[in-house]
Structure 1
Amino acid sequence: MEAIASAPMGIGQDIAQFRAEISATQSQLASKSGVDQSRVSRIEKGETGTPSELGKILDALAALGSKGAADYGAYLAKDWQYVERPDFSNPQRNILELAEEGLRQIADFLEEEERPWPLKRQLERQRAAIETSAVYLGKNAHQIAFIGEVGVGKSTAISFLYGLLDPSSPPSDLRERVVLETGGGHTTLCEVNIRRGPGFGIVVQAQSDEEMRNLVGDFCAATWLRRSGGDSQKNDSVNVSEEVQRALRNMSGLTVRRERDAKGRTNSRDQAAELASQCATEEEFRARVIERMKLELRTRREIWIEDGGAKAAMQQLRKLFRDINNGRLGDVPLPASIDLLIPGFDSEVPGLALSAVDTKGLDEVAVRADLDARLKDPRTHVVLCSTFNQAPSTSVQLLLDHLRNAHGVRVDAGKVSVLALPRDDEAMAVKDDSGEPPIDDEDGYHLKRDQILRTLASGDGALNGVPILFFNAKKDDAAKVRGQLIDQIVRLRKSYEDRLLDECAAADEVVRHHETQAFTSAVQAVADQLSNFLGAHAPLPPRVRQPSAELIEALGAIRYASTIWAMTRRNGEYYNFSVSHQVGAGGAKDALLRSKTWFEKLQGVLDTLKQDDDLVLAQKTIQQVEVSAEGWRRAFAEAARTAAVEVYRGPLEADVGLWSHCAAQWGAGPGFKVRVERIVRDWFEKQTELNQKLEGVMAALWEEAVVRPLERLSDESAGDLPEDIRPANVVPFARRVPA
């Protein structure tokens, strides 16, 4: 065996696995390797072995018939300089080895100063692209996040898909069987992550002190308004969400008690309202509620279930989750998120670490910041859930449009799928175009899929490639649907794999043909055409719509006055509706809209170049510029999002008068939402200085994210790019402002 360059963490577990696969004992391995059996045992348990010991053990395993051990030895002997060593089980390990060799080849080429500048610039761009894809593929963690409106059956579906079931409950009662709490909606308190763990357990991430104070303050303010008669809006009332209210009431012991009188009639006693009636001020009431919660005692963040077998563990996990989700444990804080740890979870996908995410139900039309984070995370596959009859629901269509228009993300490359959740015999109630019913459920799914695809294609057709899945928890095969979701993660990774291979092939072509004058001339000709294009189209295109337009539209679409009321009490930043987040989405949408024609013109130039017979040798170069252009477009949009947030968030939060004026609209009669919308719109219209500041920043971002990268490919005199450009995360000072 070649010398081991370095031993990764977990090598002992890998050795134990190789030994188990060939049914060899530690004694046999020790005898074959010449390493003491006690030493083999300690290494398998995690003790660090010397390179000599590890080499002998792996050689012995290979001699005993382990193919994996032989490959593992070669893997350990490899010196990784340009790519971080991947896990041996990484499904793209061989691809990453190609990336390592490709980057080594590029580095050797760039060391020679006399290389033609167009080729050097091309390779520099390809090096950055290969490194980006390699970093993505080198990590093995992915999430499958389920998003849907409250009450669609999302938590029930997740529980059945991933085997989170209490075997002691009656099979006929779905609600009692599932570990995740279900109901008629407004049941899940916070985001729930299901992932692999060393044992069965629950980990709670607590709400911050500030958010806890805000939630208690909202609950107390709403209760006080009802006490004082101030909550008299026609058809509207204010309160925290049902699930948060339920948890706060349980934590404080201020529940609504149902009692029967002497005549058998049921009466309700709101203990929170009773406590409020005993207080002189709202501040006193809030202080007494917080005192009853005993927040200082709520310090337990982890709960582990003792060994008792998987069946008993699921039963205990189900009860614990419900107690935490409803605020019934006196030593556990109000959670911001809950992790369910399951031994062996996702074990059916070798080399990948998958977790399932049950998001808090969507009960507003506006896209929440927490859901947006899942939508734009390149490592997350998003499952948009609808009831069967409503699929694709309005919210699903909104989120799909948001993915395209605010993130510039393709919806047909493993990023998103639509999951329709039929109940009972809904699939059999579908009819074809002639009015005939389906033969069976699968036929009903086929008919419904056609209907959904027609709905999604009714616009510009950009949503045609979205996978449409179905799952009836009572009838359908969970493993089949789970496999379909895993396939989407595979597609996500495959898109990066293809990109990496294309870039490596293009770089290899440059290196192999760099001495061919015709090749260099073709690349130079492409650079000249790009330079001509940039000379005519460098300035940032004009703004199409104000970033605040997204916010105003979202305010108009809000369903519940409570959401706007809570937002105004937090100076615009509420988990269910964030003003700065909406403005950021508006900035990204404007960036994509205003740059759309520019990128279409660039694509037109590239299409012309691809048809030029004299540039056949530069085809890969042209294709890679196309790929880069899509990356520039998304980078500019993400940078614009961040810029809009940073420009407006501080002034918005600091303007106490704005939000007190908005909050004061409650109690002024019907039209609360309309009045707040008008006040916010007027505020933005007056922010001439902020609007100009954002436009200056946008011009700088355009230059940094789009113009300068293209200059580097088209102009020998273009300066070097900074080593660490992150336009999506950094908002620079404006360097030029368009006239």
Structure 2
Amino acid sequence: MADQTENASHGALLGRFRSELGLTQAALATEAGLDQSRVSRVEKGEITSQAEVEKVLDALTALGSPHARGYKEFAAREWASLPPPSFFNPQRACLEIAEEALGNIEVFLADESRPWPLRRQIERHKDTLIKGATYLQKMNHNIAFIGPIGVGKSTGLSFLFDLLVPPTLASKPIDRPVLETGAGGTTICEVHVKRGPEFGISLLPLPDSDLRDLVSDFCAARWAVLKNELKESVDTPNVSREHDRAIRNMSGLTRRRSTKEGKIEYFDPVTDLVAASASEDEFRTRIFEMMNLPDRTRRELWYDSATRQHPMEWVMKTFREVNNGRLPDVSLPANIDLIIPDFGRSFGEMEISVIDTKGVDDVSVREDLDLRLKDPRTAVVFCTRFNDAPGVTTRSLLQHMQQTYSEPVNTGKVSILALPRADEARAMKDDAGDVAMDDAEGYAFKQMQVENELAGEDLAGVPMVFFNVQSDDPAPVREALFNQFNRMRSTVETRLFDLCAAADEVMKNHEAQALVAAMEEVAERLNSFLETHPTLPARERHAYTEALTTIRSVRYAATLWAATRRNGEWSGLNVVHNIGVGAAKDARQRSDRWFSSLKDYLAVMKGDEGLQLAAKTIDQMGRGAIATRTAFLEAVQRAGMEVYREPLSQSPVWGQCAGEWGAGPGFTGRVAVNLEKWFEQRADLKDKLEDITKTLWDQLVIAPMRRLVAENAPEVSPTGNVIKFPTRAA
């Protein structure tokens, strides 16, 4: 049934089957005709006797286990092409079929007499099958929450996933979240919640260069305000609220409150430090000395029961200390992992990690968020206020997905979570002007409104759920969000079933001349299409246009100020990343008509009665085209970034842009003008990117299609000449 190394996992499953029936080991032993000690050793994985294991399984079956018989068959199965999946993998049946298909493919390919076009097609099916099966075998997924600051994202996911201290340790229910919450600007970095052996916090520190740049921004901002007596405003240069707070805590420069003549006053020690410094450089040096960075080397913190705190209370308090820079041996984090024993065990068979992304404060198309949107194992939840739904950030990122890399919005990858507050849902009105009778009806009104708005923007199909943390049951909301994983996996499962069917059809009909003739005809027609549609249409707009548009739309001048001080590459506004996005967006627009024409062309072929035997081959060509388009757009985005990264980062234009600060209103406009002039002067970079884009088009789109033609074309004759395509009847 299994080798010795697998006995432990087998035993754990048998123990699970027994527990699900509510049986004791003694009762199971009696039914199995074994001593209780033997059953115990089987569940511990110490018994290697297949006969005894099967007795336990037979006993479990007799006692009503819904899994025991199936598991006995599963454990006896030989897996030659794929590693065996988890017994509880929801796509196990699909993987078993894929394993059988791969075995049949190996037998087919071992016979060298098979027609060459069919062998090449089957080899391609094999590679795609293995990739899809590898995706489904893994049970780990992430669910990332994205939204603007202050929307209630951290509070919502805390209540959704029971990241709460016991009610007795909080004066109000809203104070129970382990994650730090507030009016926005509280979470300093991305936070991951995952399962682990014990309660703990692990952090990746901010790279030294990034930390020094951040402190330099803080010092430059404070120096400008205090020395030049600038009035604080949204346009005043500054770091984010959470970074300002952490730097002050790390350096011991927190504001102090006092009461004078009945009035509350705040004293800022930074004021005195600036006054005592002869220059901004000296001020910055003294800040670094006060932060004592060399001693901040601790990366992990683990719960100690000797503290007599509840573990979740310890996690909450320790997270706040790390998040606010209040621990003397911990540096500023780039991301934080909260490790919770048994986290997610009640969520089903998937191993799920929850990601609380850094709130969107200004620019929504950020590199860190793009990574989540593109990760095939991550489901994304766009969080929005109820009254604002779907929200500016949600709209912006949905449009970005659609326009930049052609990601469908209705595949389960994304959903919208609206976070209503008290009485907001009941304030919704129907078409007659009558208010909702209860929250459920208010949710229904809002959902109809959002669906109509998104449909009008060609963004229909995004699932939407609602969660009032103070009154709604989190279980059905969590289940609805987890359904994203099912939809994502079901999409891959459907592709695998289609691939298995296509491969099986080819192998069963390999001797039929009609199949070979149909595939040759498909190859001829596809070749005709490529001959008449070989090139990528002309450029529609420059890649840097996206960056300039983003810069001109920045809400807070301080965002752009921080980017100019880092040569355009900052986490809050990465100009190079935006250039890459612009390159991909242009490539998508240019290729739209080509891919649309190909789709129509394939549809016509599939509708041809004479090509019915090759229908599944045509389907796979269509799916292959989608894959080539995705690869092409991602490659163009990387190319846009790499072409401009070094020349732009080394250009003196950033000094000019940073110098525009303090010259009065219109800072963003002046920066955009300076950059636009620089971009226009670098025609060589535009031409270089265009050449690379065309090369990528040939390599990633046209070449794979030509390989499909070659695979399905007639075999080469003994003289080395290619047999001509059969002439079609008029």
Q: TM-score, normalised by structure 1?
A: 0.90
- CA gap 1:174/1:593 in 2 versus in 1, 3 angstroms: farther
Post-superposition CA distance 1:656-695 (Å, at most 9, x none): x121111111112221111111111122212222222212
1:169/1:176 contact within 8 Å kept: no
Match of 1:665 among 654, 660, 665: 660
Match of 2:290 among 292, 297, 310: 292
Shift of 1:254: 0.6
Shift of 1:274: 1.7
Q: What is the aligned partner in structure 2 of residue 452 from structure 1?
A: 450
1:196 aligns with 2:195: yes
Shift of 1:493: 0.7
- Tell me the amino acid that sits aligned with residue 25 of structure 2: T
Q: What is the aligned partner in structure 2 of residue 355 from structure 1?
A: 353
Q: What is the aligned partner in structure 1 of residue 337 from structure 2?
A: 339
Q: What is the aligned partner in structure 2 of residue 25 from structure 1?
A: 25
Post-superposition CA distance 1:593-646 (Å, at most 9, x none): 111000011011111112211112222111221111111111111111111111
- After the TM superposition, which residues 112-131 of structure 1 pair with which residues of structure 2 at under 5 Å, given as runs? 112-131=111-130
Q: What is the aligned partner in structure 1 of residue 504 from structure 2?
A: 508
Post-superposition CA distance 1:379-406 (Å, at most 9, x none): 1111111111111111111111011111
Q: What is the aligned partner in structure 2 of residue 736 from structure 1?
A: none
Post-superposition CA distance 1:547-567 (Å, at most 9, x none): 111111111111111111111
**Using the alignment, how far apart are the partners of 1:615 and 1:493 within structure 2?**
31
Q: What secondary structure, in the 3-state scheme, does the structure 2 residue paired with 1:339 have?
A: strand
Q: What is the aligned partner in structure 2 of residue 161 from structure 1?
A: 160
Shift of 1:173: 3.1
Shift of 1:118: 3.2
Shift of 1:716: 4.8
2:8/2:43 contact within 8 Å kept: no
- CA gap 1:128/1:118 in 2 versus in 1, 3 angstroms: same
- After the TM superposition, which residues 249-288 of structure 1 pair with which residues of structure 2 at under 5 Å, given as runs? 249-261=248-260, 263-288=261-286
Q: What is the aligned partner in structure 1 of residue 57 from structure 2?
A: 62
- Tell me the amino acid that sits aligned with residue 513 of structure 1: N
Shift of 1:29: 6.3
Q: What is the aligned partner in structure 1 of residue 95 from structure 2?
A: 96
Q: What secondary structure, in the 3-state scheme, does the structure 2 residue paired with 1:570 have?
A: coil
Match of 1:546 among 542, 548, 558: 542
Q: What is the aligned partner in structure 2 of residue 535 from structure 1?
A: 531
Q: What is the aligned partner in structure 2 of residue 247 from structure 1?
A: 246
1:542/1:594 contact within 8 Å kept: yes
**699-708 or 118-127, which deviates more:** 118-127
- CA gap 1:233/1:309 in 2 versus in 1, 3 angstroms: closer
Q: What secondary structure, in the 3-state scheme, does the structure 2 residue paired with 1:437 have?
A: coil
Q: What is the aligned partner in structure 1 of residue 410 from structure 2?
A: 412
Q: What is the aligned partner in structure 1 of residue 299 from structure 2?
A: 301
Q: What is the aligned partner in structure 1 of residue 687 from structure 2?
A: 692
1:233/1:670 contact within 8 Å kept: no
1:143/1:355 contact within 8 Å kept: yes
**Using the alignment, how far apart are the partners of 1:331 and 1:250 within structure 2?**
12
1:326 aligns with 2:324: yes
- After the TM superposition, which residues 335-484 of structure 1 pair with which residues of structure 2 at under 5 Å, given as runs? 335-459=333-457, 461=458, 463-484=459-480
1:432/1:438 contact within 8 Å kept: yes
- CA gap 1:88/1:641 in 2 versus in 1, 3 angstroms: same
- After the TM superposition, which residues 230-241 of structure 1 pair with which residues of structure 2 at under 5 Å, given as runs? 236-241=235-240
- CA gap 1:299/1:491 in 2 versus in 1, 3 angstroms: same
- Tell me the amino acid that sits aligned with residue 536 of structure 1: T
- Tell me the amino acid that sits aligned with residue 259 of structure 1: S
- CA gap 1:477/1:172 in 2 versus in 1, 3 angstroms: farther
Shift of 1:478: 0.5
**19-28 or 449-458, which deviates more:** 19-28
Shift of 1:199: 2.2
1:531/1:715 contact within 8 Å kept: no
Q: What is the aligned partner in structure 2 of residue 599 from structure 1?
A: 595
**Using the alignment, how far apart are the partners of 1:212 and 1:234 within structure 2?**
24
- After the TM superposition, which residues 568-579 of structure 1 pair with which residues of structure 2 at under 5 Å, given as runs? 568-579=564-575
Q: What is the aligned partner in structure 1 of residue 488 from structure 2?
A: 492
**Using the alignment, how far apart are the partners of 2:539 and 2:33 within structure 1?**
71
- CA gap 1:301/1:29 in 2 versus in 1, 3 angstroms: farther
- CA gap 1:309/1:537 in 2 versus in 1, 3 angstroms: farther
**432-441 or 24-33, which deviates more:** 24-33
- Tell me the amino acid that sits aligned with residue 600 of structure 2: G
**367-376 or 270-279, which deviates more:** 270-279
Shift of 1:13: 3.7
Q: What is the aligned partner in structure 1 of residue 620 from structure 2?
A: 624
Q: What secondary structure, in the 3-state scheme, does the structure 2 residue paired with 1:179 have?
A: coil
Q: What secondary structure, in the 3-state scheme, does the structure 1 residue paired with 2:81 have?
A: coil
Shift of 1:328: 1.3
Post-superposition CA distance 1:397-417 (Å, at most 9, x none): 111101111121111110011
Q: What is the aligned partner in structure 2 of residue 215 from structure 1?
A: 214
- CA gap 1:607/1:172 in 2 versus in 1, 3 angstroms: farther
Q: What is the aligned partner in structure 2 of residue 647 from structure 1?
A: 643
Shift of 1:7: 2.7
Q: What is the aligned partner in structure 2 of residue 148 from structure 1?
A: 147
Shift of 1:148: 0.7
Q: What is the aligned partner in structure 1 of residue 718 from structure 2?
A: none
Q: What secondary structure, in the 3-state scheme, does the structure 2 residue paired with 1:647 have?
A: helix
- CA gap 1:675/1:45 in 2 versus in 1, 3 angstroms: farther
Post-superposition CA distance 1:23-61 (Å, at most 9, x none): 3539976997989959965x8668xx6xx8163553242
Extract unaligned runs of 5+ from structure 2: 715-730
**377-386 or 127-136, which deviates more:** 127-136
- Tell me the amino acid that sits aligned with residue 280 of structure 2: E
Q: What secondary structure, in the 3-state scheme, does the structure 2 residue paired with 1:247 have?
A: helix
**69-78 or 389-398, which deviates more:** 69-78
Shift of 1:16: 4.2
**Using the alignment, how far apart are the partners of 1:680 and 1:29 within structure 2?**
78
Q: What secondary structure, in the 3-state scheme, does the structure 2 residue paired with 1:708 have?
A: helix
Q: What is the aligned partner in structure 1 of residue 727 from structure 2?
A: none
- Tell me the amino acid that sits aligned with residue 282 of structure 1: E
- CA gap 1:309/1:221 in 2 versus in 1, 3 angstroms: closer
Structural RMSD (CA): 2.8
2:297/2:329 contact within 8 Å kept: yes
Extract unaligned runs of 5+ from structure 1: 720-739
Q: What secondary structure, in the 3-state scheme, does the structure 2 residue paired with 1:386 have?
A: strand
**240-249 or 646-655, which deviates more:** 646-655
- CA gap 1:13/1:309 in 2 versus in 1, 3 angstroms: farther
- After the TM superposition, which residues 710-729 of structure 1 pair with which residues of structure 2 at under 5 Å, given as runs? 710-716=705-711
**Using the alignment, how far apart are the partners of 1:143 and 1:54 within structure 2?**
39
- Tell me the amino acid that sits aligned with residue 666 of structure 2: G
**Using the alignment, how far apart are the partners of 1:231 and 1:438 within structure 2?**
49
Q: What is the aligned partner in structure 1 of residue 728 from structure 2?
A: none
Shift of 1:321: 1.6
**Using the alignment, how far apart are the partners of 1:465 and 1:428 within structure 2?**
25
1:233/1:667 contact within 8 Å kept: no
Shift of 1:589: 0.9
Post-superposition CA distance 1:568-590 (Å, at most 9, x none): 11111111111111111111111
Shift of 1:93: 2.2
Shift of 1:456: 0.6
Shift of 1:160: 1.0
**Using the alignment, how far apart are the partners of 2:55 and 2:711 within structure 1?**
56
Number of aligned residues: 709
**Using the alignment, how far apart are the partners of 1:54 and 1:229 within structure 2?**
83
Shift of 1:3: 5.7
**701-710 or 592-601, which deviates more:** 701-710
Share of identical aligned residues, percent?
A: 44
Post-superposition CA distance 1:168-198 (Å, at most 9, x none): 4587834422211111111111111112222
Post-superposition CA distance 1:79-124 (Å, at most 9, x none): 4333233233322222112212212222332333343333233223
- CA gap 1:351/1:4 in 2 versus in 1, 3 angstroms: same
- CA gap 1:458/1:169 in 2 versus in 1, 3 angstroms: farther
